[in-house]
């Protein structure tokens, strides 16, 4: 005589059992970074991204280069976010975008004073003092 048949779990229960569980913060970070790198490698060579990066490298002034790099990073990360599948990866991409855009800020340099704010120095008028006579 056989005993009662073993209980077979439902598909939902099996899905929950095999669902990816967190292995820890460092492992999750490594997994997200690997997914980010894979996605980055896929889109980095798109023609308009290459053109934007090249344009940024050719800028003559630091300010223009930083502005162009902001545009490039915005395009790059927006494309990556559009192709990301998981919400965790989208959050990771947003974090990386914020970090890269933060690097283009020039927050450690004091701005130079505007020309109107600095008073022009007045020209000194020197009084002419006669030279003493030479001894003979």
Residue 60 lies in a domain: yes
Residue 68 lies in a domain: yes
Residue 14 lies in a domain: no
Per the structure, the count of domains in the chain is 1
Domain extent for 59: 46-106
| DSSP per residue, 3-26 | -PPPPPPPHHHHHHHHS-----HH
Residue 90 lies in a domain: yes
62 vs 116: CA distance, rounded Å:
23
What is the pLDDT at residue 71? 94
Residue 13 lies in a domain: no
Residue 125 lies in a domain: no
Do residues 53 and 72 lie in contact, with contact meaning Cβ atoms separated by under 8 Å? yes
Phi, psi torsion values for 21, nearest 5 degrees:
-105, 160
**29-86 pLDDT, tens per residue?**
898 999 999 999 999 999 999 999 999 999 998 889 999 999 999 999 999 999 998 9
pTM for this entry = 0.61
């Amino acid at each position: 005589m056989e005993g009662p048949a073993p209980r077979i779990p439902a598909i939902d229960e099996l899905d929950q059992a095999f669902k990816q569980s967190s292995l820890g913060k460092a492992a999750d970070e490594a997994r997200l970074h690997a997914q980010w790198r894979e996605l980055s490698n896929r889109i980095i060579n798109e023609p308009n991204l290459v053109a934007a990066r090249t344009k940024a490298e050719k800028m003559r002034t630091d300010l223009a280069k930083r502005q162009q790099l902001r545009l490039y990073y915005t395009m790059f990360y927006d494309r990556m976010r559009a192709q990301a599948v998981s919400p965790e990866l989208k959050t990771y991409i947003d974090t990386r975008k914020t970090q890269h855009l933060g690097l283009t800020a020039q927050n450690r340099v004091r701005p130079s004073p505007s020309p109107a704010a600095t008073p022009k120095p007045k020209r000194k008028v020197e009084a002419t003092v006669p030279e003493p006579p030479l001894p003979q």
